[in-house]
């Protein structure tokens, strides 16, 4: 596929799509029904009118950070590009969640607003009320602007942009630390978009389908921007609709012949567990050629369960595509070969915590399956580092994944300390752990999610997986943390379950202890049951394990547990 023109910034990318493919655009859906088709040509005109209002009437300054806090909608896309066209820098943040506490919501985003020095936000009238009532900081003013008012301007304005200037700020989810604003330039974003296009072999006949939130890198870059970059249609539905009924997502593939759609591992599991057999028979997923699986730890059992269940609907096993990426790389870091499907190796489980890779046969009782996420994408280099900050020079060792390249950020917004601590001799330290085998990357966990018990290292994800795989106990989630106990570290497990019977919960604790002990050789100090709204999650649904200790301290006296 040949891309016409050579845009130097995101505004030029949108202009190219509007000029060369005026009949392509974004189809928006609510509860499975198409409600709007926003052509790129119309979007470019709307963006110019918003930019005219921002620049000529509101006098925003070049490089000014402006929040974009809107749900998945055409207005989000208009606002995002409108800020760019005015010479501003959009900072995408999550809109208020349905039924969520306004105070808790403001606490979640207030750090980003102040850190990036945001005083103007493109939102809606609900946001005006929430920020006014819950901020508690009258000295910090925030002006909320609505897209409908900004569109009243008849004139269009398009600023001259510089490729090395910031294009937008992408806030990290904060699953292991406080969220930080990743600065991404036009040049870096275009480099990653080209790497995505090349790695997925995207063509003009492709159609992207997603429910992923637009404030998250996989939704914003991987779906919205990549669709505009390649001038193809995007099918866009709200995350709430997917959560309400994942069938809404899969029903879009046949009528629109969708070909590309990414999702986290948990989304594939949700589909496999919640969609009924009779509903699967009504689906046709044969057009789906790349089901990118990323954003969180990829579980082999989940991928197999999804493939086995949806093959009768035409899903091709080779379409499942484990990938690796992060906001600091714009998005994509590694892709496997297209149309290959799942590729994995089995390593000795007992040695993974010691950062040693020992490939064994699948039938080995100590075997753990680890899935490949492929090779570095175009323009990205990867190096594994020891704990002491030196590159790993030998094979068969697990190290921290460090990256550099054309699309890798140079730092965080107004956070010099975080920027300085993130780099090692020019390499960005991701905090993820992995190893290379036959030049392919395998992810084994997070550096900050290692739990040390009795001098042995265990990955929190592995412990949680043992619990979540138990059958018959209505488990909704699990989180493992380590706490100080009599001069050493001990394991504590938080478990979210619908089970309310006290006696059954007591039995459940015994079974959890036995399962974890038999699988990993350790036993939890405490098992604490939580309600679904009590477990700390980021805006993108990841566990916030760094909040676990505070949660443990607040629940220890109040909740029943067995020692």
* pLDDT at res. 46: 97
Does the pLDDT value for residue 267 go beyond 50?
A: yes
Q: Which residues contact 67 (CB under 8 A, 6 or more apart)?
A: 90, 91, 93, 112, 113, 118, 120, 121, 122, 123, 142
Mean pLDDT, residues 265-280 taken together: 89
Strand-pairing partners, residue 332, are 325
pLDDT digits (tens, 9 = 90+) for 25-60: 999 999 989 999 999 999 999 999 999 999 999 999
pLDDT digits (tens, 9 = 90+) for 77-103: 999 999 999 999 999 998 876 645 566
Q: Whose CA is closest to 410, among 182, 84, 167?
A: 182
Distance CA 237, CA 34 (A): 9
Distance CA 233, CA 231 (A): 7
Q: Looking up tokens 């910031």, which residue turns up?
A: 166
* pLDDT at res. 532: 79
pLDDT digits (tens, 9 = 90+) for 212-226: 989 889 999 999 999
Distance CA 375, CA 357 (A): 18
Identify each DSSP E strand in 456-552 by its residue range.
Answer: 456-459, 475-485, 488-497, 526-530
Q: Looking up tokens 């309600």, which residue turns up?
A: 531
* pLDDT at res. 523: 79
Mean pLDDT, residues 154-171 taken together: 94
Mean pLDDT, residues 228-242 taken together: 94
Q: Which residues contact 218 (CB under 8 A, 6 or more apart)?
A: 212, 262, 264, 294, 295, 325, 331
Residue 187 three-state SS: helix
Q: Which range among 55-69, 85-99, 153-167, 431-445 shows the weakest confidence by mean pLDDT?
A: 85-99
Other beta carbons within 10 angstroms of residue 530's beta carbon come to 19
- Pick the most confident of 152-156, 483-487, 549-553: 152-156
**Three-class SS string for 227-250?**
HHHHCCEEEEECHHHHHHCCHHHH
Strand-pairing partners, residue 371, are 344
With residue 271 as reference, give the H or E element that holds it.
Answer: helix 265-274
Distance CA 40, CA 111 (A): 34
* pLDDT at res. 178: 66
* pLDDT at res. 97: 66
Q: Which residues contact 486 (CB under 8 A, 6 or more apart)?
A: none
With residue 74 as reference, give the H or E element that holds it.
Answer: helix 74-85
pLDDT digits (tens, 9 = 90+) for 504-549: 888 888 888 877 876 676 778 888 888 877 888 876 677 888 788 8
Distance CA 261, CA 257 (A): 11
- DSSP 8-state symbol, 359: B
Distance CA 99, CA 96 (A): 9
Q: Give residue 562's pLDDT band: very low, low, confident or very high (50, 70, 90).
A: very low
* pLDDT at res. 540: 66
Identify each DSSP E strand in 332-393 by its residue range.
Answer: 332-335, 344-348, 367-376, 380-385
* pLDDT at res. 350: 81
* pLDDT at res. 231: 96
Residue 521 three-state SS: coil
Is the distance from CB of 380 to CB of 406 less than 8 angstroms? yes
Distance CA 141, CA 132 (A): 9
Does the pLDDT value for residue 433 go beyond 60?
A: yes
Distance CA 455, CA 452 (A): 6
As a whole number, the mean pLDDT across the chain is: 87
Distance CA 116, CA 104 (A): 20
pLDDT digits (tens, 9 = 90+) for 334-343: 999 999 999 9
Mean pLDDT, residues 173-184 taken together: 73
Mean pLDDT, residues 349-368 taken together: 88
Distance CA 242, CA 265 (A): 14
Distance CA 439, CA 460 (A): 26
* pLDDT at res. 37: 97
CATH code for the domain defined by 463-555: 3.30.300.30
* pLDDT at res. 476: 80
Q: Rounded to a whole number, what is the distance in angstroms from the first to the last CA of the chain?
A: 62
Distance CA 223, CA 443 (A): 23
Q: Which range among 112-126, 227-241, 265-279, 491-505 shows the weakest confidence by mean pLDDT?
A: 491-505
501 φ/ψ angles, rounded to the nearest 5 degrees: -65, 125
Cα–Cα–Cα angle for 188, 190, 193, nearest 5°?
Answer: 110
Mean pLDDT, residues 335-364 taken together: 91
Q: Whole-prediction pTM value?
A: 0.83
Cα–Cα–Cα angle for 437, 439, 445, nearest 5°?
Answer: 55
- DSSP 8-state symbol, 55: I
Is the distance from CB of 333 to CB of 377 less than 8 angstroms? yes
* pLDDT at res. 142: 83
Does the pLDDT value for residue 456 go beyond 70?
A: no
Joined tokens for residue 175: 């699953």
Q: Looking up tokens 């990426």, which residue turns up?
A: 325
Q: Whose CA is closest to 128, among 81, 55, 77, 69?
A: 69
Q: Which range among 24-28, 162-166, 403-407, 542-546 shows the weakest confidence by mean pLDDT?
A: 542-546
Does the pLDDT value for residue 563 go beyond 50?
A: no
* pLDDT at res. 298: 82
Does the pLDDT value for residue 297 go beyond 90?
A: no
Distances in whole angstroms, Cα of residue 336 to Cα of each of 18, 181, 323, 401, 440: 32, 28, 7, 17, 8
Q: Looking up tokens 């999702």, which residue turns up?
A: 263
Does the pLDDT value for residue 383 go beyond 80?
A: yes
Does the pLDDT value for residue 280 go beyond 70?
A: yes
Domain extents in the chain: 463-555
Q: Looking up tokens 């950020």, which residue turns up?
A: 409
Q: Which residues contact 59 (CB under 8 A, 6 or more apart)?
A: none
Residue 407 three-state SS: coil
Does the pLDDT value for residue 185 go beyond 90?
A: yes
Cα–Cα–Cα angle for 365, 372, 376, nearest 5°?
Answer: 155
Is the distance from CB of 113 to CB of 105 less than 8 angstroms? no
Q: Looking up tokens 């470019």, which residue turns up?
A: 44
Q: Percent of the chain at pLDDT above 90?
A: 56
* pLDDT at res. 460: 83
């Amino acid at each position: 596929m040949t891309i016409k023109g050579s845009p130097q910034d995101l505004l030029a990318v949108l202009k190219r799509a509007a000029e060369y493919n005026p009949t392509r655009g974004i189809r928006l859906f609510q509860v499975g029904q198409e409600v709007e088709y926003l052509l790129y040509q119309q979007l470019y005109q709307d963006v110019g009118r918003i930019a005219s209002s921002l620049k000529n009437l509101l006098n925003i300054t070049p490089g000014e950070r402006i929040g974009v806090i809107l749900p998945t909608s055409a207005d989000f896309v208009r606002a995002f590009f409108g800020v760019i066209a005015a010479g501003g820098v959009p900072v995408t943040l999550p809109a208020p969640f349905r039924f969520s506490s306004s105070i808790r919501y403001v606490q979640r985003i207030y750090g980003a607003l102040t850190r990036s020095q945001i005083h103007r936000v493109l939102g809606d009238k609900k946001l005006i009320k929430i920020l006014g009532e819950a901020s508690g900081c009258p000295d910090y003013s925030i002006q909320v602007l609505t897209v409908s008012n900004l569109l009243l301007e008849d004139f269009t304005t398009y600023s001259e942009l510089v490729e090395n200037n910031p294009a937008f700020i992408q806030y990290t989810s904060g699953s292991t630390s406080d969220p930080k604003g990743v600065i991404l330039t036009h040049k870096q974003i275009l480099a990653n978009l080209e790497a995505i296009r090349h790695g997925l072999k995207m063509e003009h006949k492709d159609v992207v389908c997603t429910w992923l939130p637009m404030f998250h890198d996989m939704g914003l870059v991987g779906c919205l921007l990549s669709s505009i970059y390649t001038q193809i249609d995007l099918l866009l539905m709200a995350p709430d609709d997917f959560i309400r009924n994942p069938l809404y997502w899969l029903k879009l593939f046949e009528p629109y012949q969708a070909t590309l759609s990414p999702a986290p591992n948990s989304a594939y599991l949700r589909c496999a567990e919640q969609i009924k057999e009779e509903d699967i028979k009504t689906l046709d997923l044969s057009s789906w050629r790349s089901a990118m699986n990323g954003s969180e730890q990829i579980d082999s059992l989940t991928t197999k369960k999804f493939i086995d269940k949806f093959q009768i609907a035409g899903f091709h096993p080779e379409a499942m595509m484990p990938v690796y990426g992060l906001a600091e790389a714009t998005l994509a870091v590694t892709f496997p070969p297209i149309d290959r499907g799942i590729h994995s190796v089995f390593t000795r489980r007992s040695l993974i915590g010691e950062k040693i890779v020992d490939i064994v046969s699948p039938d080995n009782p100590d075997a753990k399956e680890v899935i490949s996420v492929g090779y570095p994408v175009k323009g990205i280099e990867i190096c594994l580092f020891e704990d002491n900050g030196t590159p790993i020079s030998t094979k068969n060792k697990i190290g921290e994944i460090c990256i550099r390249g054309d699309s890798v950020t140079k730092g965080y917004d107004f956070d010099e300390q975080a920027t300085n601590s993130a780099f090692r001799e020019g390499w960005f330290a991701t905090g993820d752990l992995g190893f290379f085998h036959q030049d392919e990357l395998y992810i084994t966990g997070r550096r900050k999610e290692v739990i040390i018990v009795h001098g042995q290292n265990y990955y929190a994800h592995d412990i949680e997986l043992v619990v979540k795989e138990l059958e018959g106990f209505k488990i909704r989630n699990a989180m493992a943390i380590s706490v100080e106990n009599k001069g050493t570290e001990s394991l504590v497990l938080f478990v979210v379950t619908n089970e309310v019977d006290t006696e059954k919960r007591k039995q459940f604790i015994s079974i959890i202890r036995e399962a974890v002990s038999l699988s990993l050789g350790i036993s939890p100090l405490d098992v604490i049951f939580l309600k679904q709204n009590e477990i700390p999650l980021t805006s993108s649904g990841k566990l916030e394990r760094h909040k676990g200790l505070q949660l443990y301290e607040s629940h220890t006296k109040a909740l029943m547990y067995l020692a």
